[in-house]
Amino acid sequence: MIYPVFLPHAGCPFQCVYCNQRVTVSCAERGSALAEFVRSRLADYAGQVQISGIPGEIAFYGGTFTALPPGLVDEILCAASVFVDRGVFTGVRFSTRPDCLDITVVDMLSRYPVRTVELGAQSLSDLVLQKSGRGYLAEAVVSAAKRIKRKGWRLGVQLMAGLPGDDPAKFMESMRRAIALGADFLRIYPTLVLEGTELARAYRQGLYVPLSLDEAVELISPAYDLALRAGVPIIRMGLQADPALEKPGVILAGPYHPAFGSLVKSRWWQERIDRHLSSLGEISGEEMIIRVAPNRVSDVIGHRKSNLLHWKSKWSVSAKVVGDADLTGIEILWKTKSSNRDISL
């Protein structure tokens, strides 16, 4: 369980070309003193934990946590530590920039119950980082990741697809490098054009072309496959739906969808079963029953039954998806055939 406290743009030393966090995250209290706001959120979550009995990490997201004034970081972490000591929270996690996590900062953080650090790497291509106004190069990501791992903290790496200067080869190389750094989990966000950003100006001038929704899904599907094979979970794909983000005029262009992660997983299933079907002989007119774990049924079916329609159109095969709590993989049964066919994940 994660209990998030959002600090939009707090501590950020740069304005990256794509960023306008004051519209991507609702934060009605942002005009209040930051420390007071944090203490209020801690108290609110403590009340929730008391009722639910479910502890978890308190998470500071949305800004560059370690670039806040050191005294303020101490004040926030001291307040959080009190609740950790009481058993309300299991530890602290935060997101930060790779170039704001030097040895001095890491040593200071070591005094507190930090358990997880998410690096907003966005890319491990120097060209993409430069064109995106990140203010650091890939080596900064590598160095920060090593410091995190040496402390025994869990490492999360956030990547973005479709940034200026990016392409499928660069993005997949960033994925491979992030996994090689020992990432315990990943987040992947397709780049959106938000009003009030430098990217919006470039978009209006025709200098930047965002990914379409289908292009973004097609790009991130093999990245999802790569992470699965490496045993590294992707805990989020796409920005979380938020009322502030969905107001008219906030997103000018780009592959936004409130269920983007589900679209990627559905595409992954489509491609995986397509490969299976292509290895068979004549199957036109037959019916296949796909048995999977219950929590995968909707992904296999696809958004608005897109996968079922795809298999019908491409292979002239009817498909039915059935949840089976005893399965961890997938089993395909043909209604007109005597043998079952298994696909191992």
Domains of the chain: 2-258 (3.20.20.70), 282-343 (no CATH)
Distance CA 161, CA 176 (A): 14
pLDDT at res. 24: 47
Query: How would you classify residue 11: left for phi > 0, otherwise alpha for psi between -120 and 50, otherwise beta?
Result: left
**Predicted TM-score (pTM) of this structure:** 0.88
Average pLDDT over residues 130-156: 96
Find, among 250, 242, 241, the residue nearest to 196 by Cα: 250
Average pLDDT over residues 247-274: 94
pLDDT at res. 338: 42
Percent of the chain with pLDDT over 70: 90
Distance CA 130, CA 324 (A): 48
pLDDT over threshold 70, residue 10:
no
**List of residues 6+ apart from 172 with CB closer than 8 A:** 222, 223, 226
267-322 pLDDT per residue, tens: 999 999 999 888 887 788 888 999 999 999 999 999 999 999 999 999 999 999 99
Average pLDDT over residues 190-204: 94
Q: Is the dihedral of CA 113, 116, 117, 120 positive or negative?
A: negative
Q: State whether residue 183 is helix, strand or coil.
A: coil
Task: Say if residues 155 and 145 touch (Cβ distance below 8 Å).
Answer: yes
pLDDT at res. 26: 45
How many residues can be counted in the chain?
345
Distance CA 121, CA 142 (A): 9
For 86, counting Cβ atoms within 10 Å of its Cβ (0-12 exposed, 13-18 middle, 19+ buried), the class is: exposed
pLDDT bucket at 345, cuts 50 / 70 / 90: very low
Q: Which residue has the higher pLDDT, 335 or 151?
A: 151
Q: Which residue has the higher pLDDT, 10 or 70?
A: 70
pLDDT bucket at 162, cuts 50 / 70 / 90: very high
